[in-house]
Amino acid sequence: MTDLIAFIGVGNMGNPMSQNLVKAGKKVKVFDVSKKMIELAKKNRLDVVENLNDLITDEVTTVITMLPEGKNSKDVYLGNEGIINKVSKDCLLIDCSTIDIRTSIEIGNKAKEKGIKMIDAPVSGGVMGAQNATLNIMAGGTKEAFELALPLLKIMGKNIFHAGDLGSGNGAKICNNMSLGITMIAASESLMLAKRLNIDIKKVHEIMKNASGNSWPISVYPPLPGLIDGTPSNNNYKPGFSVGMMNKDLKLANECAKSVKALTPLGAMALEIYNKFCEEGNENKDFSAISKVVGGDAWNYPID
């Protein structure tokens, strides 16, 4: 019998991830609660199942989920019609959603009680990374479960890490994205300051890429247009990775910090900045559009 992957959640990230599995020769069936995403999946010639109950059959050997929040993962896995009550003990569960650690562990423990192997495996790299199969994937779970998932993870990503026990994947992702949110603001402030000082922004960008001020937002994903081709800043800030999703991850980081009494003042300030930006109606812009907050009237200066 051919292994069948059930992929749940084919939005901006899940759609290209599932496509890469198909391109690699895997048999994949997909489902999403969004009719818009279902239509996009059909357009991309994915094998769509329009009812979750019909998706989880005896044929399914792996379930991969890519969902927005912990409550969505909990509902899909542990709800009245939850996956854990339907799949066989031989089925591998991979939750690529970025969710709170407590929910991740709760789902994993329920799976363990049933003898089902599961990992949490959130990703970073945005839509570009999903499309190009260059995602960074941080997995939590037993070594045995991780090794079983690794061949599939390698199809969807480039840098695969086993972070530790169940929940560690989400913990690592939350830490990473707190740093990313902070450094995107820092990159925006630095580049906008250069513009106000009337220094050639392209030269400053090149200097920063090769100096101690370098960061991922500077070298790969700059928040200002005209610096690196193919980035959201050159496409009217079409995500990418949205402001809303970054705001969600910073909230998770803030909650984690409070739970272990860790001091993260920059993380808290970043959350405040992104949260306000969301409230102003920018939730669906790419998170690099946060440069508009720090830019002021400098935002309208042309980049030659």
pLDDT tens track for 113-122 = 999 999 999 9
Q: Which of 121, 98, 117 is nearest to 108 (CA)?
A: 117
Tell me which residues of the chain have a pLDDT lower than 70.
1-2, 295-304
> Per the structure block, which two tokens stand in for 162?
């086993």
Query: Residue 248: its pLDDT value, please?
Result: 96
- Ordered by start, the domain boundaries in the chain are 4-165, 171-300
Query: Residue 2: its pLDDT value, please?
Result: 66
Query: Residue 303: its pLDDT value, please?
Result: 40
In the chain, where does DSSP find H-type helix? 14-23, 35-43, 52-55, 70-78, 101-113, 126-132, 143-156, 168-196, 201-209, 216-219, 243-259, 265-277, 291-295
Task: Give domain 4-165's CATH number out of 3.40.50.720, 3.20.20.370, 3.50.50.60, 3.90.550.10.
Answer: 3.40.50.720
pLDDT tens profile 18-49: 999 999 999 999 999 998 998 988 998 999 99
- The architecture that CATH gives domain 171-300 is Orthogonal Bundle (1.10)
Residues involved in catalysis: 173
- pTM, full prediction: 0.90
Q: What are phi and psi of 93, to 5 degrees?
A: -110, 130
Query: Residue 1: its pLDDT value, please?
Result: 46
Query: Residue 274: its pLDDT value, please?
Result: 96
> Per the structure block, which two tokens stand in for 292?
């508009």
